[in-house]
Structure 1
């Protein structure tokens, strides 16, 4: 009889040891990822470590020594499993966060540019070899590196084409549609420039790509880091890139904002610049970017984020410390992953004819938008009498809607999917250490951030655009609004409120 009583005890102890090992392993996994992420202040990290170590000790004692009955042992095992699973899940979420931060702060040394040989859909040319002996239109002063790259690649395959140079995009397109040339070479990032021209709005539908190649250019975007990101004010350029070939490809800057952050006063000023703002370009690339030429600011992104940064610095007379690039088309994935966002539409701005989101209708008051709807809402300008001004306001609403949802408790229920959707969406020149320092600062000091908004303004007009080589719709700056925006930024940098600037 005594042997029969000892046997269950031995089994219970074996289970106790096994579950104790699992508990310790899960806790170590959680704490390892927490230390690796390095976002908790030292005191809080110490407290969390002590709490988990004590929990482990308590349950190890209960599992191996204190509980003897089957019921009490079972209950203890259930609680142990729950804590172990919670630790594993927490460690996994923290690991996903660390991967996201690593991806965001690992800025590629090169950016991709994709160039295509395009023919009409009615053309008999369907594959690369069919191009031999035919005529091709090329731009004389814009994107010359890409054109040469395509023609060189074709020549290596024994395919020679008869080149006809054109001074502007519109001249080349007119020649193409008139039959003067059989094909044209375009930079893929120029597609939306083409379809923005009313006469060529159906360009994507009535043409096709016969040959395409990509090449890399050096990414010269570097941080101008501040000495201490938790005490020193800094400026961040937020650039929403409009690309079709992937996040690493240069494309138009469809969203342009400067976030001025003063951690001492807890103030963030968002200064928006309409994409059609007519500015003097400050180039950072030799591939057809014309230094000092006048163009829409959106076109600067085609030559890389650093060209946009330098142009904004010149426009506002400020120094930008960091850049934050957003793949704006991937906003759909983020918004869907967080379960949609809410935007508040003011009376008089109801709309039911969105060009980029057919079927979308917004009413006065709070509207809940999914990913496609949020992107369409952020890109729309034709439905509003204010055009690009209202689009800029909508973009601010969408970005703030994402921030509000991501910082709410609801994020926990779909955290892994959100991290995955954001993995290839953001890129910043801010270092991992600087981001974790800001998170530590937030957890330690818990500042109540005040968000202020500003926007430069101007007058609609038709002017020559360097990137197109032709006239197009632009917003000619109202210099008083540019000066005011610059003064607001300087005020926040100096510890004052932007609202105090007249």
Structure 2
């Protein structure tokens, strides 16, 4: 029989039917296709992201291509027997998973940059009608025939929007106007008015006033108006350096005292940290300013609603009620410096970021310990090393009541938390938690740094891998009692320290010029570390306020009126309120009216 006939007979079974050729190793073929497509997509995304230096892109791409080729050659041509095939298949599977994770890694980075470098497109102003819980007013309809207190001089447009709201709902009421927040609250608690019209930005000002600390638990909201104002890019311009990878710069990290997103109305700036970065020397100087520093406000001159007379003084934290740019320019005026960029974060940012990093490590020294956290009445931190979650890190960063020098220790705590976060970010743990880390940043993080500037700085970091030296300085100030513009009343503040202002300025200038801030000596006499007897505790204070019972546990009455279960990832559905075509969304034009 000819050879051709013999070969043909081998492909025919006993019934004379041709045998079908089996599809050999379909899993290997699938992994090959997946690996090639994933590799091509990854290289494309790396180039598009524009984060890595060109030489690093070429090197990484070349290494990945060669590695894939070696794995595919072994998988298809070298691994003939069962065990080698299994081993080669496992290696190929690992490579596929690595490429898939790499694509996810790059996608998350690109997506986060898009979010954090684009300012929120609108901000909300929330105004409420507030009544005492002990009153008969429970719903909007119960306001009929009631007297509502207002503060038109302080809050004209939001008040008018709210009262117009009530008029549209056919609620018949009367109003009585007061000149400031103090007078309004006195009338409210004395029964002179049945309810008050309150811009929600003032709620925290009331909470920080001893006389109205229980306002949150004493009252209920019976009606609310949310108004959105469009935010433009030029509302928060930067003062950029020529080359962020070479030129030193200063950036303000402003910590808003709010949860959720940064789209909500402007809130107090609870933390004010200046980072002066010199890429050439690899130095970062942290300069902290007390939250209650009594400073001259720099108000927005393009917004009549937020404008203030020249020479208006208030706590630095209240500058945040007029926006981050007001806080930035107020600090520039107080210290005589230039700030190039700003970053806004909030409570959710800190909690989500720390949790995304699987916690941070805090080494609590004598004088820094806390028995009970004031902000949530949870157990504090004793002297020693602790691995803490986001909520604990935030509570520690906000604590001042447990210390003899209050606000001064709070800024030290904030610096300690920031250093711990930075240390965790540059640790190997960051790789496994990268996705969660990017999600955390996108939730409540906003900056006027451009995407190109961030990209350029990251390129510099990857190209040079500088050994960053972190230096710190905190301005210390003494308690005082002064008139505050935002509340139009007297309040506890901390007086400016002219000597330390000048020292802070010189230290910042030293780093900008390529030197260490430590060359600038501090003659103020104030220590940058806590004294051993600084931690006086706050248990007695919380018991006196009814927050803790005699056993040191949260009182049942207080728990009923307070919900600590914050949703740190909460979002807000504004479709009920937000309409770009609404007349209020455009430029507000109101006639002068008297609602008395």
TM-score range normalised by the length of the shorter chain: over 0.9
Task: State whether residues 299 and 306 of structure 2, in contact with CA within 8 Å, keep that contact through their aligned partners in structure 1.
Answer: no
Q: What corresponds to 2:281 in structure 1?
A: 265
Distance 1:245 1:405 in 2: 23
Task: After superposition, give the CA deviation of every residue in 1:69-103 in whole Å (9 maximum; x if it has no partner).
Answer: 34433332222121111110121122112222221
Matched, 1:189 2:201: yes
Mapped pair 1:179 → 2:191: yes
User: Secondary structure, in 3 states, of the residue corresponding to 1:211?
Assistant: strand
CA distance in 1, matches of 2:161, 2:449: 33
| Residue 337 (structure 1) aligned to one of 332, 356, 360 | 356
From 236, 246, 253, give the equivalent of 1:238: 253
CA distance in 2 between counterparts of 1:244 and 1:128 reads: 27
1:97-118 per-residue CA deviation (whole Å, 9 max, x = no partner) reads: 2222221111124322211111
Q: Which runs of 5+ in 1 are unaligned?
A: none
The partner residue of 2:438 within 419, 422, 430 is 419
Flag the 1:7–1:405 CA change in 2: closer, same or farther, 3 A.
farther
Secondary structure in 2 aligned to 1:251? coil
Larger deviation: 415-424 or 271-280?
Answer: 415-424
Across the two proteins, how many residue pairs are aligned to each other?
502
Residues 237-278 of structure 1, C-alpha deviations (whole Å, 9 max, x = no match): 110001256422210000001111111221111111111000
Query: How far 1:501 moved relative to its partner?
Result: 1.4
Question: Following TM superposition, by how much is the alpha carbon of 1:132 offset from its aligned partner in structure 2, in angstroms?
Answer: 3.2
1:274–1:392: 8 Å Cα contact kept in structure 2? yes
Aligned with residue 393 of structure 2, among 351, 374, 398: 374
Deviates more, 1:380-389 or 1:24-33: 24-33
**Contact 1:380/1:391 (CA < 8 Å) preserved in 2?**
yes
| 1:139 aligns to 2:158 (yes or no) | no
Q: Deviations over 1:420-476 (max 9, x none)?
A: 222212111101111111111011111122111112232211111111111110001
Counterpart of 1:93?
105
- The structure-2 alpha-carbon separation of the partners of 1:14 and 1:342, relative to structure 1 and needing over 3 Å to count, comes to closer
Is the partner of 2:411 in helix, strand or coil?
helix
Range with greater deviation from structure 2 (256-265 or 154-163): 154-163
Where 1:142 maps in the other structure, the secondary structure is helix
Structure 1 residues 455 and 8: alpha-carbon distance in aligned structure 2, compared to 1, 3 A threshold: farther
Two-structure CA RMSD over aligned residues (Å): 2.2
Q: Which moved more, 1:70-79 or 1:384-393?
A: 70-79
Q: Is the 2:112–2:441 contact (alpha carbons within 8 Å) kept by the matching residues of 1?
A: yes
SS in 1 for 2:491: strand
What is residue 75 of structure 1 aligned with on the other side? 87
1:405-416 matches, within 5 Å, as 405-416=424-435
Map Cα deviations across residues 44-86 of structure 1 (whole Å, 9 max, x no partner): 1111111121223233333444444344333322221211111
Offset from partner CA, 1:282-301 (integer Å, 9 cap, x none): 00143244243010000010
Contact 1:17 1:64 in 2 (8 A): no
Task: Please tell me whether the aligned partners of residues 29 and 87 of structure 1 are also in contact (alpha carbons under 8 angstroms).
Answer: no
TM-aligned CA deviation for residue 14 of structure 1: 4.6
- Identify the range of structure 1 (283-292 vs 346-355) with the bigger mean alpha-carbon deviation: 283-292
Counterpart residue number, 1:224? 239
**Does 2:67 correspond to 1:55?**
yes
Unaligned runs of at least 5 residues, structure 2: 1-8, 13-17, 522-596
Tell me the CA shift for residue 163 of structure 1: 2.1
Q: Which residue of 1 aligns with 2:308?
A: 290
SS in 2 for 1:118: strand
- Mapped pair 1:281 → 2:300: no
Kindly indicate whether residue 56 of structure 2 is the aligned counterpart of residue 44 of structure 1: yes
Cross-structure match for 2:369: 350
Structure number with the higher helix fraction is 1
Q: Please, which of 344, 347, 359 is the counterpart of residue 328 of structure 1?
A: 347
* Larger mean Cα displacement after TM superposition, 144-153 or 207-216: 144-153
Alpha-carbon distance in 1 for matches of 2:414, 2:333: 23
The range that moved more, 248-257 or 365-374, is 365-374
CA contact (8 A) 1:233 1:262 kept: yes
Cross-structure match for 2:263: 248
Distance 1:8 1:58 in 2: 32
Describe the SS at the equivalent of 2:177: strand
Q: Which residue of the other structure, out of 145, 149, 168, is the alignment partner of 2:180?
A: 168
- Cα distance in 1 for partners of 2:151, 2:225 equals 17
TM-score, normalised on structure 2?
A: 0.80
Deviation at 1:25, TM superposition (A): 1.7
Q: Show the counterpart of 1:120.
A: 132
Provide the rounded CA distance (Å) in 1 between the counterparts of 2:348 and 2:201.
14
Deviation per CA, 1:313-355: give whole Å up to 9, x if none. 1111122111100112442222222222112222233221321
Contact 1:287 1:303 in 2 (8 A): no
Residue 480 of structure 2 is aligned to residue 464 of structure 1: no
Separation (CA, whole Å) in 2 of partners of 1:7 and 1:262 = 74
Q: Which has the larger radius of gyration?
A: 2
Does structure 2 retain, via aligned residues, the 8 Å contact 1:20–1:63?
A: no
Q: Which residue of 2 aligns with 1:149?
A: 161
Tell me, in whole angstroms, the C-alpha distance in 2 between the residues paired with 1:15 and 1:325. 49
Instruction: Output the CA distance in 1 between the equivalents of 2:431 and 2:257.
Output: 30
Flag the 1:8–1:336 CA change in 2: closer, same or farther, 3 A.
Answer: farther
SS of the residue aligned with 2:129?
strand
Distance 1:18 1:377 in 2: 52
CA distance in structure 2 between the aligned counterparts of 1:395 and 1:145, rounded to whole angstroms: 36
SS of 1:423 mapped into structure 2: helix
Q: TM-score, normalised by structure 1?
A: 0.94
* 1:385 corresponds to 2:397: no
397, 406, 409: which is aligned to 2:416?
A: 397
Q: Residue 117 of structure 1 contacts residue 185 of structure 1 at CA under 8 Å; is this kept in 2?
A: yes
Q: Is the 8 Å Cα contact of residues 364 and 385 (structure 2) preserved in structure 1? A: yes
Q: Residue 490 of structure 2: SS of its match in structure 1?
A: strand
Change (3 A) 1:400 1:57: same
